[in-house]
Amino acid sequence: MEAVASQDLWIWNAYFGVAGSNNNINVFDQSSIFDDLLNGKALDAPFTVNGNEYKYGYYLIDGIYPQYSTFMKAFRHPVEERDKIFKRRKEGARKDVECAFGVLKAKWHIVEHAARPLDL
């Protein structure tokens, strides 16, 4: 499952693939949100960091994804203090995403357990 969620647990986008058939890269290849981003159709989500303005939002990902400017990977072994701070904050944001998944699992049991066909 892929989801885009904000800190207030608002789910902006979700993608459910066929159970067991999707690893991270397969989900990425099938994701309409990333297709829109690559084709220049993504919604603007402007923000400013250190005086630099950015047009699109960013996505927290792990190490297997390709290098795109909107993808934020953590440092594996940060040395400098600013990199350590960044890694801690990114880990905190990932916990927000995990919390959103927890809400989805609690609300819809099917998210956690595969559906079984009905016996007719």
Give tens-digit pLDDT for 52-100: 888 877 777 776 777 777 777 777 888 999 889 988 888 887 787 778 7
3-state SS of the chain: helix, strand, coil percent to 5?
35, 15, 50
H-only helix segments in the chain? 24-30, 32-38, 81-107
pTM exceeds 0.85, yes or no: no
Residue 14 has pLDDT above 60, yes or no: yes
Name the burial class of residue 118, with classes exposed (0-12), middle (13-18) and buried (19+) by CB atoms within 10 angstroms of its CB.
exposed
